Amino acid sequence: RIKMKNKILKYSILAAIIILSIVQVGCTKELQMVSDSTYMLGTYLQLSVWTTNKQEGMDTIKSSFERIKEIENKMSTNLDESEIGQINLNAGKTYVEVSEETVDIIERAIHYAELTNGAFDPAIGKLVKLWGIGTENERIPTQDEIQNALQFVDYQKIEFQGDNKVKLSEADMRIDLGGIAKGYAADEVTKIMKNKGIKHAIINLGGNVVTLGKKADGTSWKVGIQDPFEPTGTHMGVIEVYDQTVVTSGNYERYFMADDKRYHHIIDPKTGYPAENGIISATIITNSSTDADGLSTSIYVLGVEKGMQLIESLENVECIIITEDKKVYTSTGLTERFQIIDSSFQIEN
Ligand code: FAD
Ligand code: MG
């Protein structure tokens, strides 16, 4: 009997050693970066994940791109067959049944419209189309055209019925989620990566950046803030973050020049013209990329004073605002994590 007990003990110790060594091999397997990029949502997208299993990393990136395509097919203003396209085509006529997530994002956009007193307005579509900035139809509209379009920019005239039916109350109204849906896509990709067990990743959807976890070496990520006066990739400062998103709205990527004046794609719903209040870049740092996207566009339109007031009133939301005279305004929670690396920029606050 004692012999038998000893045997069992021996085998269990042996089993334990084998299990332990398997676990150890698993742990010491090196993390490697898997990265891929593509063009969607009218911009360059790059996803990088750190994984011990290259194939799994590649599959995760593939699923992420498929998910972004799905969101684009539902929420693009440019596609007549998208859910937003259908709402726009049926403006002033009928309710259109759309998916729950499309309703959610329209409602999130309306939340920011209410919070900013209409500086952010998802019903901006007619004006965006009129200016055509970033398309081959870009031009300065006439005063009459602008006055006419302004009548149809009003988020309060987006109507809902039941859980998922949406209608625009006037035939000339158009929804445009370009100021918020990229952030939503970034949040959805983050969710996919977390579900697949990824612990370290950088999601970059054309400047909408999400950092998942910390870097593989346990330190924070350093995200560069674009210098609005220099070519893409030149940074004026660096922000340290982990498990957060960094989203910038600027005047330096989608614009055209006419008579020495820059006409960019963030439109002030009060004037019908590109927002002009001194801001040339507004960056939001927070947890949700949907919120950061909505807020960065909002702050750009609101201007420094009202914008900063709004950010300081929100919990866990920080911002960096750059004005055309190279002044930099940062929210109070940011001081230690943000560093200017180009001394021609001056901290103002
Ligand atoms: P942000 O500041 O985040 O947003 C600016 C955009 O918000 C403007 O381009 C306009 O769409 C909208 N906007 C302007 N003023 C306001 C305002 N006051 N309130 C609310 N919103 C405002 N680009 C293409 O070139 N081709 C495409 O096929 C295409 N498809 C897209 C599909 C989807 C689902 C999304 C989300 C974007 C797509 N885009 C496309 C890009 C889009 O047109 C915008 O240019 C882009 O989303 C702007 O993002 P941003 O981060 O540069 O600026
Ligand atoms: Mg935005």
Indicate the domain borders of the chain: 17-71+184-347, 78-168
For residue 313, the number of C-alpha atoms closer than 13 Å in the C-beta half-sphere is 10
Q: Which atom of ligand 1 is nearest to the CA of 296?
A: 2
- Cα-to-centroid distance, 349 and ligand 2 (Å): 24
Cα 1 to ligand 1 centre (Å):
77
Q: For residue 210, which of 201, 198, 219 has the smallest C-alpha distance?
A: 201
Atom 46 of ligand 1, residue of closest alpha carbon:
178
- Of 70 and 10, which is predicted with more confidence? 70
Whether the predicted pLDDT of 104 surpasses 50: yes
pTM over 0.75, yes/no: yes
- Which listed ligand is nearest to 130 at the C-alpha? 1
Q: Which atom of ligand 1 is nearest the CA belonging to 248?
A: 51
Distance 30 CA to ligand 1 centre (A): 39
> Which range (14-18, 138-142, 157-161, 316-320) has the least confidence?
14-18
From ligand 2's centre to the CA of 295, what distance in Å? 6
Category of 198 on φ-ψ map: left (φ > 0), alpha (ψ -120 to 50) or beta:
beta
Report pLDDT for 21: 45
Main-chain phi, psi angles of 260, to 5 degrees: 65, 10
CB 219 within 8 A of CB 320: no
CB 73 near ligand 1, within 6 Å: no
Question: In which band, very low, low, confident or very high, does the pLDDT at 22 lie, cut at 50, 70 and 90?
Answer: very low
107-110 own/partner pairs: CB under 8 Å, 24+ apart: 108/180, 108/184, 108/290, 108/291, 108/294, 109/155, 109/177, 109/179, 109/180, 109/294, 110/155, 110/158
What is the best residue among 182, 253, 273 to mutate for testing ligand 1's pocket, by most ligand atoms within 8 Å of CB? 182
Residue 336: the pLDDT is 87
Which residue CA neighbors atom 3 of ligand 1 most closely?
179
State whether CATH 3.40.50.300 applies to domain 78-168.
Answer: no
Same fold, 17-71+184-347 and 78-168: no
Tracing tokens 């909408």 back to the chain, one arrives at: 208
Distance CA 260, CA 241 (A): 38
| Residue 211 clears pLDDT 60, i.e. is over it | yes
Residue 209 is predicted with a pLDDT of 98
Ligand 1: nearest atom to the Cα of 135? 25
The pLDDT of 263-269, averaged and rounded, is 98
The preferred substitution site among 176, 205, 321 for testing ligand 1, maximizing ligand atoms within 8 Å of CB, is 176
Predicted confidence (pLDDT) at residue 319 exceeds the cutoff of 80: yes
**Architecture of the CATH domain 17-71+184-347:** Roll (3.10)
Q: Give the mean pLDDT of 117-146.
A: 97
